[in-house]
Structure 1
Amino acid sequence: MSRKLGIVDLSRRSLLRGAAAAGVAALAGQAAAQTAVDELINAKRRGNWDDQFDAQASRAATAIVTNTPILSQATLMNMQQAISQYQMIVANGGWPQVLPTVALRLGATDASVQALRQRLMIAGDLPQDAGMSNSYDSYVEGAVKRFQARHGLPEDGVLGEFTIKALNISADTRLNQLNINMARLQDQLTKPLEQRYLLVNIPAAALEVVENDQIALRNTAIVGSISRKSPLVSSKVSDIILNPYWTAPRSIVEKDIVPLMRKDPTYLTRNAIRLIDGNGNEVAPESIDWFAPKAPNLTFRQDPGKINAMSSTKINFPSPDAVYMHDTPTQGLFNKLMRFESSGCVRIQNVRDVVVWVLKNTPGWSRQEIERVIASRVNTPISVADEIGVHWVYITAWSPMGGVVQFRDDIYEQDGDAQLALQTNIGQEQVAGSVDEDFLPQ
């Protein structure tokens, strides 16, 4: 019996040794194969067969998203590092201009790609070991996407008009922009911040929802146009109004509504806008002479509902400019690159998420209850239980994390250099029915 067990043990040991030897041989074979592949990929004369695909291209697209808010001491310290970095870049001669002769996208070949590579390397978007060639490969595409993300541009990896213009802003101009915004940040941070606050950065057309010095939510916004700028604000949320009324200001009544009524007498009815006299009585639109020299001295008030100019929600706060934040029925505007379409007020994408966050400490207002009230179309004001700050700032350059510098267009031309206002001179479409900027307080 013991002899049989010895034979079995010996056979088992032999089998394991054989398996181990086979495993080592397999690993050696894999290593040799990988070495051969690496040698082929890294060969100087390999040609450009891999220019259009590189599984490691994601290295260039280093994550630049952080939960650090713009108004934070961490951002201030990162800004100081960024200024030192850009001072060194300027001292070393800056970066080259990128002047392509063909459309630059993945797979393109052009002499200007070398200048593009150099430009991206200097700013830290492209690894230094990515090489210098005329090929717009996946490394370059990843770096361009990173550059676009840092400049608030669509991350498509293609050198379009705005990407080329942003690339060709000189290093010393960017350094000056950093210094100007450093002063703005320092000024903002001399004031105490609430534990919870809503930050609208106007040049970025974006909202940061901040709690305990961390970004809880990010939301796309639409802010004031160049001719009707959104003001700087430092206030606190007073109340939320679900299903708000909209009262048309006199300027919109005279310039827009009256001419529309002359062309289409059903305009007010179709848009659920009622006429109210000084005694609170409703006046029939057909009883008004719309061709009279002056617009009727009546209140033009739009009922709550999906077509209401503020849609489901209005976020109120004290402001000398009578501005506020709100929802909008024209959601497609949030997909635009240039979101400078209002005359002061700020529209917020996914505003209901923000309202849930604002009301989370206000008893009785769960998400389910908020949605139920919105669905009812009943005008409902809600007093906010806790202190929620509101800050609208103008920051065109900031550094939320080390090695990452964010830049935005100086849309209101506050930075002292016309070339930083890339979008300012471009005509902006006015979307019919989308004006909300001059809204009177409810």
Structure 2
Amino acid sequence: MLFGFRRRMSSVVIAAILSGAVVSATPAVAFPVFKQAVAEAAARDDGIAAYYRSADYAPLWTADTDIARERRKALINALVNADDHGLPAARYDVDALVGKMAAARSKRDLGMVEVELSRLYLKYARDLTSGMLDPRTIDDGLVREIKKRDRSELMTSLANSSDPTQFMRDLAPQAAEYLRLKKERMRLEALIASGGWGETVPVGKYEPGDSGASIVKLRNRLIALGFMERSAAASYDRDMEKAVQAFQIAHGLEADGVAGKGTIEEVNRSPEHRLKSVLVAMERERWLDRKIEGREILVNLTDFTAKILDDGKLTFRTRSVVGKNQSDRRSPEFSDVMEHMVINPTWNVPRSIATKEYLPMLKNNPNAVGYLRLVNGRGQTVDRSQVDFSQYSTRNFPFDMKQAPGSRNALGLVKFMFPNKHNIYLHDTPQKALFKRETRAFSHGCIRLHQPFDFAYALLAKQEDNPKDFFQKRLKTGRETKVDLVTEVPVHIIYRTAYTEAKGPVQYRRDVYGRDAKIWKALESQGVALPGHQG
């Protein structure tokens, strides 16, 4: 589709427009007629109108100057090549734009073209800087606040740029993750064009020592996927076992070297399926307001990990447990700032848990969950024997429930706070066995960490000479202790079924909450399509 579009755009008309000959056929002198046309056309868009008022309606695109010609060329090239970013070029209808530019015969026409160029530039710039979609309209777990650049500021920034082509390039996210995803998109599209990864493997369980036609198909698929060197071996030998393990690691599977049902299902995924994940990941990356420099915490819900990155480099990683795949427990996606940690925390039971899970138990037995204190509105502990729990419901339950600090506390021995309206935080847990599972979606929504102490040490290392000693001294008191972070750390709770690492293959994960499928459907509605699937 893109190649055909480029062939159409290589006509005499587009060449003339890019060089300035067609647009300049009517001189772009800022006469009242031109200004009036710009004012009228811009009136429907506050950002565009504000810019042109501030610029006294001087032309940004249609002037007969070298810089205006460079802006036109940079914009049209960016729109034609929008699919480099997974954006559909048809969304910007460059053919229609070129037609309007070629048909301009009067100063009024030129004013209308001027504003149309600005409108398409802002549409493209917004799409690239903050995404095409509003995530909050797609899934109730997508509570991410999107920071959109001011439209008038985008206009002014372009006007002040001496290199429009570089300016257009710099609109895209500059994080290494985005650049590597772009590269994977190109790789997958080339694979699709050449026929993909070949024949799929019959679903079954294959392990070292096996042989036969299915093993040959598995071998060929692993070779095509890039996890195994070319070989004529027809048996499940040590080389295949290592290749299966490498594949399992790259797909978040238990790396046991046995190709069971789950592994074969992932081996058989098509490049089209993987490309969807990459295109969705690129859109998600555009939603994310990430800094290239400094420290950040990334929690990838599909990968069941929490990571610390410093200047884009991974410096700490631990397994995590995330919200169960139920409507009221799925962990939401958002960004905030970690402010402090609490050592030996008290668990203040969320009201939803207290009323939906514990109140029915208390109605049957007032002494149930005896490790939890019942607290009234004045902060006083209530004697359960004096309470008739049968009179209460989820709406009128008047008590708070609390669990004292200790090794059996539901939050474990430390929690990490980035105060937010979703009541989500990172914490320790006494339920260590869950971290051995391949899929770790078991919590009520908060994020449990496998190595919370090491996570704390890593955070404290920025402000304490001996972070371990500092932490352990406060832990041993048994008292709840708040420790502020001298430098607050951005926290991004993300959901990526495709993500990259500095070295090694692109990582793919399952769509555990089904959110990527919803995003892909929304992208399709905006015109995003796989190669060969354009309508």
Q: TM-score range by the shorter chain?
A: 0.7 to 0.9
Q: 1:74–1:400: 8 Å Cα contact kept in structure 2? A: no
Residue 356 of structure 1 is matched in structure 2 by 457
Q: 2:248–2:255: 8 Å Cα contact kept in structure 1? A: yes
Using the TM superposition, give the Cα deviation of residue 309 of structure 1 relative to its aligned residue in structure 2, in angstroms. Answer: 0.8
Q: 1:124–1:403: 8 Å Cα contact kept in structure 2? A: no
2:472 is the counterpart of 1:371: yes
Residue 412 of structure 2 is matched in structure 1 by 311
Residue 99 of structure 1 is matched in structure 2 by 202
SS in 2 for 1:216: strand
Counterparts of 1:286 and 1:158 in 2: how far apart (Å)?
Answer: 56
Residue 7 of structure 1 is matched in structure 2 by none
Alignment of 1:5-16 (within 5 A): none
The AA in structure 2 aligned to 1:225 is K
SS in 2 for 1:210: strand
Residue 353 of structure 2 is matched in structure 1 by 252
Counterparts of 2:457 and 2:317 in 1: how far apart (Å)?
Answer: 14
Residue 266 of structure 2 is matched in structure 1 by 166
Q: 2:292–2:311: 8 Å Cα contact kept in structure 1? A: no
More helix by share: 2
Counterparts of 1:363 and 1:160 in 2: how far apart (Å)?
Answer: 47
Residue 219 of structure 1 is matched in structure 2 by 318
Aligned match for 1:345, one of 437, 440, 446: 446
Q: Given the two structures, how large is their TM-score scaled by the length of structure 1? A: 0.72
Counterparts of 2:336 and 2:392 in 1: how far apart (Å)?
Answer: 41
Using the TM superposition, give the Cα deviation of residue 72 of structure 1 relative to its aligned residue in structure 2, in angstroms. Answer: 7.5
| Aligned length in residues | 343
Residue 509 of structure 2 is matched in structure 1 by 408
Residue 278 of structure 2 is matched in structure 1 by 178
Residue 66 of structure 1 is matched in structure 2 by none
The AA in structure 1 aligned to 2:194 is N
Using the TM superposition, give the Cα deviation of residue 74 of structure 1 relative to its aligned residue in structure 2, in angstroms. Answer: 3.3
Residue 39 of structure 1 is matched in structure 2 by none
Using the TM superposition, give the Cα deviation of residue 250 of structure 1 relative to its aligned residue in structure 2, in angstroms. Answer: 2.6
2:493 is the counterpart of 1:392: yes
Using the TM superposition, give the Cα deviation of residue 187 of structure 1 relative to its aligned residue in structure 2, in angstroms. Answer: 4.0
Counterparts of 1:179 and 1:282 in 2: how far apart (Å)?
Answer: 53
SS in 2 for 1:83: helix
After superposition, what is the alpha-carbon deviation per residue over 1:271-303, rounded to whole angstroms, capped at 9, x for unaligned?
A: 2x1111122221112222234454752111110
Alignment of 1:71-150 (within 5 A): 73-95=175-197, 96-100=199-203, 103-128=205-230, 130-133=231-234, 135-150=235-250
Q: 1:194–1:388: 8 Å Cα contact kept in structure 2? A: no
SS in 1 for 2:487: coil
Residue 434 of structure 1 is matched in structure 2 by none
CA 1:275–1:417 in 2, change beyond 3 Å: closer, same or farther? closer
The AA in structure 1 aligned to 2:368 is Y
CA 1:72–1:333 in 2, change beyond 3 Å: closer, same or farther? farther
Counterparts of 1:168 and 1:407 in 2: how far apart (Å)?
Answer: 13
CA 1:257–1:194 in 2, change beyond 3 Å: closer, same or farther? farther
After superposition, what is the alpha-carbon deviation per residue over 1:159-203, rounded to whole angstroms, capped at 9, x for unaligned?
A: 122111111211211122222212323443x54356112110111
The AA in structure 2 aligned to 1:157 is G
The AA in structure 2 aligned to 1:276 is V
Residue 434 of structure 2 is matched in structure 1 by 333
Superposed CA RMSD: 2.4
Q: 2:299–2:494: 8 Å Cα contact kept in structure 1? A: yes
Counterparts of 1:292 and 1:176 in 2: how far apart (Å)?
Answer: 52
After superposition, what is the alpha-carbon deviation per residue over 1:284-336, rounded to whole angstroms, capped at 9, x for unaligned?
A: 12222234454752111110111111011111113231211111111111111
Using the TM superposition, give the Cα deviation of residue 265 of structure 1 relative to its aligned residue in structure 2, in angstroms. Answer: 4.5
Residue 24 of structure 1 is matched in structure 2 by none
CA 1:371–1:164 in 2, change beyond 3 Å: closer, same or farther? same
Q: 2:416–2:427: 8 Å Cα contact kept in structure 1? A: yes
Gaps of 5+ in 2: 1-172, 521-535
When structure 1 is superposed on structure 2, of 172-181 and 145-154 the one drifting more is 172-181
Counterparts of 2:473 and 2:191 in 1: how far apart (Å)?
Answer: 56
Using the TM superposition, give the Cα deviation of residue 264 of structure 1 relative to its aligned residue in structure 2, in angstroms. Answer: 4.8
Using the TM superposition, give the Cα deviation of residue 83 of structure 1 relative to its aligned residue in structure 2, in angstroms. Answer: 2.2
Q: Given the two structures, how large is their TM-score scaled by the length of structure 2? A: 0.60
CA 1:156–1:308 in 2, change beyond 3 Å: closer, same or farther? same
Counterparts of 2:400 and 2:419 in 1: how far apart (Å)?
Answer: 23
CA 1:240–1:193 in 2, change beyond 3 Å: closer, same or farther? farther
The AA in structure 2 aligned to 1:117 is R
Counterparts of 1:279 and 1:403 in 2: how far apart (Å)?
Answer: 57
Counterparts of 1:364 and 1:74 in 2: how far apart (Å)?
Answer: 31
Counterparts of 1:198 and 1:313 in 2: how far apart (Å)?
Answer: 17
Residue 251 of structure 2 is matched in structure 1 by 151
Counterparts of 2:408 and 2:245 in 1: how far apart (Å)?
Answer: 37
